[in-house]
Amino acid sequence: MRFTKMEGCGNDYIYVNGFEEKVAQEQKPRLARALSDRHFGIGADGLIFINPAQDADFEMEMYNADGSRAEMCGNGIRCVGKYVYDKGLTDEERISVVSAGKIKYLDLTVNRPADRPGDRGQVTLVRVNMGRPILEPEKIPVIASGNRVIDEPITVDGREYRMTCVSMGNPHAVVFGKGVADLDIEKIGPSFERHERFPNRVNTEFVEIMDRKTIFMRVWERGTGETLACGTGSCAAAVACILNGLTDPVVTVRLLGGELTVEWDQRQESVYMTGPAVTVFEGTV
């Protein structure tokens, strides 16, 4: 089976062309676990199949490193955009991608060499319309009494935190604080992920406000652990910042693996995420 290793801000995935490679559905979780292993496999935060789709240009079928299905990944979907253009599966610079039944729209920035007029170029940057942030607790899901979870207390491992919960197609709990760079995320991350208030587990973003336009974030992703970046998490963090009056509507999110720009256009009810997409290497397994 041929594969392509790609990353967006260090959030890396193994991509497989589902138009050509046929893998039995029941084998995909096991394959995701084996290939994602950084010691005995290729090494990645997960496995993504790029498939034909009926209601969109392409389907993104995504698995976490532990083999569980994931609904959405902002960094992952940007790399899908780069893959399908660079591989010649599309000539369009605006495409649609469906994942877990939800369609996202991608605008591709193509770098064409000035000294090679006939070269169609390659994608370097992708802007994704991530859609409307979901704030209703039962749809995130998170167990709560009100109609939104904004700056709400939660006790984890005997300590009280304040969280704001958002879904960008997958569940996020955003926690603000100081000293995020020194946080023992390997200890606290799993406790948040499997807390009883999150029926489907949760991704947790630990965010430090730098100024009105900039935040620093570390993320614990369910089914994977700490990753160098999380696109949906960056969107959720930006939305949480705005809901709490901490930043402007356009936010630069600094991550361990790079930077993303997130804009929440409340008039259009859409969150836009812009960031890089990079091919690392290709191979056969």
CA dist 176 and 247 (Å) reads: 12
Per-residue confidence (pLDDT) for residue 241, from 0 to 100:
98
pLDDT of residue 17: 98
Answer yes or no: 73 catalytic: yes
The half-sphere exposure of 77 on its side-chain side, counting CA atoms within 13 A, is 33
**Strand positions, DSSP E, 112-230:** 122-129, 152-156, 159-167, 171-176, 203-211, 214-221, 225-227
- Spatial CB neighbours of 117, under 8 Å, sequence gap ≥ 6: none
**DSSP structural state of residue 232:** H
Domain check: are 115 and 194 in the same one? no
CA 30 to chain centre: 22
C-alpha–C-alpha distance, residues 177 and 117, integer Å: 50
pLDDT greater than 90 at residue 114: no
Q: In the chain, pLDDT over 70 holds for what percent of residues?
A: 100
pLDDT of residue 113 exceeding 90: no
The total domain count for the chain is 2
The packing angle between helices 231-243 and 74-86, to 10°, is 130
pLDDT of residue 253: 98
Instruction: Report pLDDT digits (tens) over 50-76.
Output: 999 999 999 999 999 999 999 999 999
Give me the mean pLDDT over the 117-124 stretch. 91
Catalytic residue among 73, 79, 235, 241: 73
pLDDT at 179: 97
CA distance 272 to 262: 6
Radius of gyration of the chain (CA): 18
Residue 74 buriedness (CB in 10 A; 0-12 / 13-18 / 19+): buried
- State mean pLDDT over 121-142: 97
Catalytic residue among 165, 230, 235, 241, which?
230
Task: Give the pLDDT mean for 263-269.
Answer: 94
Task: Indicate whether 16 pLDDT > 90.
Answer: yes
Whether residue 164 sits in one domain with residue 116: no
- Give yes or no: residues 102 and 180 share one domain: no
My answer on whether 120 and 208 are in the same domain is no
pTM comes to: 0.93
150 and 117 inside one domain: no
Question: With pLDDT > 90 as the criterion, what percentage of the chain qualifies?
Answer: 97
- The CATH number given to whatever domain includes residue 183 is 3.10.310.10
Banded pLDDT at 116 (limits 50, 70, 90): confident
Q: Tell me which residue of 48, 141, 134, 129 sits closest to 94, measured CA to CA.
A: 129
Yes or no: say if 189 and 225 are a contact pair by the CB < 8 Å rule. yes
Residue 165: CB partners within 8 Å, gap ≥ 6? 135, 137, 140, 142, 144, 149, 152, 171, 172, 173, 174, 202
> Both 109 and 190 in a single domain?
no
The pLDDT, as a whole number, for residue 165 is 98
Distance, CA of 187 to CA of 161 (rounded, Å): 15
Report pLDDT digits (tens) over 93-109: 999 999 999 999 999 99
DSSP state of 56: S
- Encode pLDDT of 213-252 as tens digits: 999 999 999 999 999 999 999 999 999 999 999 999 999 9
**Structural domain of 10:** 2-128+275-284
Residue 275, number of CB atoms within 10 A of its CB:
25
Q: Are residue 242 and residue 214 in the same domain, yes or no?
A: yes
Does the structure show a pLDDT above 90 at 131?
Answer: yes
Question: Stretch 177-193: mean pLDDT, rounded?
Answer: 97
Whether the pLDDT of residue 91 is over 90: the answer is yes
**Per-residue pLDDT band at 115 (split at 50, 70, 90):** confident
Q: Which residues pair with 127 in a beta bridge?
A: 107, 274
Please check whether residues 88 and 148 belong to one and the same domain: no
Q: What is the mean pLDDT of residues 162-168?
A: 98
